[in-house]
Chain A
Amino acid sequence: MSQIQLKEISKVYADGYEAVKKVSMDIADGEFMILVGPSGCGKSTLLRMIVGLEDITSGDLMIDGKRVNELAPRERNLSMVFQNYALYPHLSVYENIAFPLRLNKGGISDEEVKKRVGDAAEMLELNDHLERKPANLSGGQRQRVAMGRAIVRDADAFLFDEPLSNLDAKLRGQMRTEIARMQRRLGVTTVYVTHDQTEAMTLGDRVTVLKKGVVQQIASPRELYEQPVNLFVAGFIGSPPMNFLPARVEDRSLRLPFCEVPFGEEFADKVKGKDLVIVGLRPEFVKDAEIQDPVPGAVEFEADVDVTEWLGNELYAYIPFESDEAVRAKLDELDRDLDGEGMRTQMVVNLEARSRVREGERARFFFDPKLMHVFDPENGDNLTRNEEEAKRIAAESEEDRKRALERAKRKEAEAPA
């Protein structure tokens, strides 16, 4: 168990391509850190630099305060689960899991190997498959063998490189909770790379959002969701994604495609000198005014619904709007950064399932403007981010994490040996 520090780590390939740009972060002992971002953001490169499979061009990588830039992978005592699992096809499941132990010549007795592989197999429910070859296993079983190989030795940290991306949706959900449980139970520092924001939000104590090799924000999932620092993070986190609407700045109010939102003195300073901003509104913040009474201070509006999707537990309604030429370029760029396929200018709202909103009809909605984010169209900065609130969320999350670790440790201690 250990802490990992990255100090201004950069990666420049031989052809001059800069995959990772001055990334710094502190990963606390026992923390579950997620690296997330669209493809090509440098998250896998970063992970491979931590484990030592990729040279670090500049910067310092510290494990427990010791600089390890020059150490070979095997000297770093980290274990890794690869995207394709990298199971050894010529070895049985048992020998695959035992592989790291066997390398330690004479260090570990056969009984010890047997016990530790047995424990790992027990934890991952692989007992029935120990004699089989990886080729005869299902995707989920292979995944568990790869995890078994990672946990069988006392590694200082676990590294995961998109471990669930080759599984189908149902299995992915199961394995996700499995990984979360295992990490809490073992309390091992974990770095986990994914492009899937559900994994990022559910697994991580903290999440690092990367874009083109640059860190955008390192924060707890809740902070990312509630207080994103910029347009990119806001657009990346959340499903369906946040709606971005152009808004004209008028005297004491913002003019959105459907409505006008008044603002106070304090906010006026932030948008001073701008005549156009981008407003971010999460689909779930818009409510159906027919079935719910507007909260005090809510903004009401009417709009034509183009398409609806009823999912049983909720209802998505799509409302087209005219985009403003002045912000279109910025929004198109954002869409490309997020691996999008050409955004339609429409707003998605996530309503309750009992809503009577129908396709092709006009409907009434409302939303609480306090939940709305306003972004600078030039640099994408979030003008409405509340630093104090962000700090409070961070402290709360850290508290939660420590409690969860302690609970896991207590449980471990109570469990019969």
Chain B
Amino acid sequence: MSTATAPAETKTPSKDKALLSNRAKAERRLGWKLAGPAFIVMVAVTAWPILQAIWLSFFRYRLTDPDAREFVFLGNYSVIFTDPVFYQALRNTLLITVVTVAVELVLGFAIAMLMHRVVLPRRTLRTIVLIPYSIITVVSAFAWLYSFRTDTGYVNHWLNTITFGAWDSAFDWFGSWAPAMSVIMVSEIWKTTPFMSLLLLAGLAQIDGAMEEAAKVDGATFWQRLFKVILPNMKAAIMVAVLFRTLDAFRIFDNVFIMTRGANDTETLSTLAYKQTIDRVEIGMGSALSVVLFLMVFAIALIFIKGFNVDLAGSRK
């Protein structure tokens, strides 16, 4: 714009600019009008209860005796952190999380590779693998419970047969900690491996086949291709899958509740919180446990996102 004509011309652009920003403003307004309700509902059904939980966790408060409600500030927390039951639940939860996620990662990856390459029962395999994901966790817990139970189960019989009678066919899987935890973990692995392998399969599908062919031509063996070409290129997909599954496993409840109800020291954090709140109606203590669990999940997510650089903005569930 030359300086001589400037005064005459500035009018039009400024008017147009106003128009443009009006349009942009309208778009913003529309954006929030459309997205707002979902956002508000989502926040309302989660943020409000968690704030309420934080508030209630400062009280000694039993539902059966509401008048005795008493402000104890961090009293509940100090009880929790000095109680061996809590530490047992924490150990169990961590054990389940680490073992199931690790096993699922290996197993899920193997199944993903299989689904990626298999030719013949391709569709059938993909459908069948998807089934455990879609059935109710409680149903899968019952299926495994009944498989291992001494009275109705077949597992003891099978084990007895393949060990030529060495296995005690009356072995009580739910009678002690180690076998009970094993069954819980087996059922968890069975139920959630499909989700893991689907996420990993999606990651595999993103890898350019030509890259692998190039590695083949360069003389790489299968394992070299796997560790030097495939896995490094799937890092993002693996991290996302592990994050999702870790947070999911950390909240484990359904299987434990159906199989042992926390007997024989198999309590997890979620079942412990449930027991305090629902069975013993200790709202204050239950709230404190809920807050602790929430903070732990939050911390895990934070560690993943900050520590492992999981890019969540570029990923979706």
Residues of A within 8 Å of B16, CB to CB, are 56-58, 69
Give the total number of A-B pairs whose CB atoms are below 8 A apart: 16
Contact A58 B12 (CB under 8 A): yes
B3: shortest Cβ distance to chain A, in Å? 15
Q: Quick check: is B19 within 8 A (CB to CB) of the other chain?
A: yes
Contact A55 B13 (CB under 8 A): no
Closest partner residue, chain B, to A10 (CB atom): B13
Restricting to A9-63, which residues have a CB under 8 Å from any CB of B?
10, 14, 55-59
Residues of A within 8 Å of B20, CB to CB, are 55, 57
Contact B17 A14 (CB under 8 A): no
A214: shortest Cβ distance to chain B, in Å? 14
Cβ 8 A contact of B19, one of A10, A14, A59, A70: A70
**In the bound complex, what is the Cα–Cα distance between A69 and B16 (angstroms)?**
9
Residues of B within 8 Å of A10, CB to CB, are 13
Residues of A within 8 Å of B13, CB to CB, are 10, 57-58
B92: shortest Cβ distance to chain A, in Å? 51
Restricting to B1-32, which residues have a CB under 8 Å from any CB of A?
12-13, 16-17, 19-20, 23-24
A71: shortest Cβ distance to chain B, in Å? 12
Cβ 8 A contact of B23, one of A55, A58, A59: A55
Residues of B within 8 Å of A55, CB to CB, are 19-20, 23
Restricting to A198-246, which residues have a CB under 8 Å from any CB of B?
none
**In the bound complex, what is the Cα–Cα distance between A56 and B280 (angstroms)?**
68
Closest partner residue, chain B, to A70 (CB atom): B19
B288: shortest Cβ distance to chain A, in Å? 48
Residues of B within 8 Å of A56, CB to CB, are 16
Interface SS majority for chain A: loop
Closest partner residue, chain A, to B24 (CB atom): A14
Residues of A within 8 Å of B17, CB to CB, are 57
Closest partner residue, chain B, to A60 (CB atom): B12
**In the bound complex, what is the Cα–Cα distance between A328 and B20 (angstroms)?**
43
Closest partner residue, chain B, to A59 (CB atom): B12
Residues of B within 8 Å of A14, CB to CB, are 24
**In the bound complex, what is the Cα–Cα distance between A358 and B257 (angstroms)?**
88
Interface residues as binary, B246-288 with A (CB distance below 8 Å gives 1, 0 otherwise)? 0000000000000000000000000000000000000000000
Residues of B within 8 Å of A57, CB to CB, are 13, 16-17, 20
A356: shortest Cβ distance to chain B, in Å? 43
**In the bound complex, what is the Cα–Cα distance between A88 and B87 (angstroms)?**
59
Residues of B within 8 Å of A69, CB to CB, are 16
B196: shortest Cβ distance to chain A, in Å? 32
A93: shortest Cβ distance to chain B, in Å? 30
**In the bound complex, what is the Cα–Cα distance between A56 and B12 (angstroms)?**
11
Interface residues as binary, B132-163 with A (CB distance below 8 Å gives 1, 0 otherwise)? 00000000000000000000000000000000
**In the bound complex, what is the Cα–Cα distance between A70 and B23 (angstroms)?**
11
Residues of A within 8 Å of B23, CB to CB, are 55
Restricting to A69-87, which residues have a CB under 8 Å from any CB of B?
69-70
B184: shortest Cβ distance to chain A, in Å? 47
**In the bound complex, what is the Cα–Cα distance between A10 and B17 (angstroms)?**
12
A16: shortest Cβ distance to chain B, in Å? 12
**In the bound complex, what is the Cα–Cα distance between A70 and B20 (angstroms)?**
10
Residues of B within 8 Å of A59, CB to CB, are 12
**In the bound complex, what is the Cα–Cα distance between A14 and B27 (angstroms)?**
14
Residues of A within 8 Å of B19, CB to CB, are 55, 70
Residues of A within 8 Å of B12, CB to CB, are 58-59
Restricting to A350-397, which residues have a CB under 8 Å from any CB of B?
none
B20: shortest Cβ distance to chain A, in Å? 5
Closest partner residue, chain B, to A69 (CB atom): B16
Closest partner residue, chain B, to A22 (CB atom): B1
- Scoring A10, A14, A55, A70 by chain B CB atoms within 10 A of each residue's CB, the highest score goes to A55
Residues of B within 8 Å of A70, CB to CB, are 19
A283: shortest Cβ distance to chain B, in Å? 37
Residues of A within 8 Å of B24, CB to CB, are 14
Restricting to A138-161, which residues have a CB under 8 Å from any CB of B?
none
B307: shortest Cβ distance to chain A, in Å? 33
Restricting to A163-214, which residues have a CB under 8 Å from any CB of B?
none
**In the bound complex, what is the Cα–Cα distance between A57 and B13 (angstroms)?**
7
**In the bound complex, what is the Cα–Cα distance between A70 and B19 (angstroms)?**
9
**In the bound complex, what is the Cα–Cα distance between A57 and B98 (angstroms)?**
57
**In the bound complex, what is the Cα–Cα distance between A55 and B16 (angstroms)?**
9
Closest partner residue, chain A, to B12 (CB atom): A58
Interface residues as binary, B178-209 with A (CB distance below 8 Å gives 1, 0 otherwise)? 00000000000000000000000000000000
- Scoring A14, A55, A58, A70 by chain B CB atoms within 10 A of each residue's CB, the highest score goes to A58
**In the bound complex, what is the Cα–Cα distance between A401 and B24 (angstroms)?**
42
**In the bound complex, what is the Cα–Cα distance between A29 and B270 (angstroms)?**
75
A275: shortest Cβ distance to chain B, in Å? 32
**In the bound complex, what is the Cα–Cα distance between A58 and B17 (angstroms)?**
8
Closest partner residue, chain A, to B23 (CB atom): A55
Closest partner residue, chain A, to B1 (CB atom): A22
B291: shortest Cβ distance to chain A, in Å? 43
**In the bound complex, what is the Cα–Cα distance between A182 and B24 (angstroms)?**
39
**In the bound complex, what is the Cα–Cα distance between A59 and B17 (angstroms)?**
11
**In the bound complex, what is the Cα–Cα distance between A10 and B13 (angstroms)?**
9
- Scoring B12, B16, B19, B24 by chain A CB atoms within 10 A of each residue's CB, the highest score goes to B16
B9: shortest Cβ distance to chain A, in Å? 8
Closest partner residue, chain A, to B20 (CB atom): A55
B25: shortest Cβ distance to chain A, in Å? 12
**In the bound complex, what is the Cα–Cα distance between A55 and B23 (angstroms)?**
9
**In the bound complex, what is the Cα–Cα distance between A14 and B19 (angstroms)?**
13
**In the bound complex, what is the Cα–Cα distance between A377 and B81 (angstroms)?**
80
B2: shortest Cβ distance to chain A, in Å? 11
**In the bound complex, what is the Cα–Cα distance between A10 and B23 (angstroms)?**
17
**In the bound complex, what is the Cα–Cα distance between A302 and B290 (angstroms)?**
90
A contacts, CB < 8 Å to B: 10, 14, 55-59, 69-70
What are 6 sample pairs from A and B whose C-beta atoms fall under 8 A apart? A14-B24, A55-B23, A56-B16, A57-B16, A58-B13, A69-B16
Beyond A10-B13, A55-B23, A58-B12, list 9 extra A-B contacts (CB 8 Å): A14-B24, A55-B20, A57-B13, A57-B17, A57-B20, A58-B13, A58-B16, A59-B12, A70-B19
Q: Which 8 A-B pairs have the closest CB atoms?
A: A58-B13, A55-B20, A58-B16, A58-B12, A57-B16, A55-B23, A57-B20, A56-B16
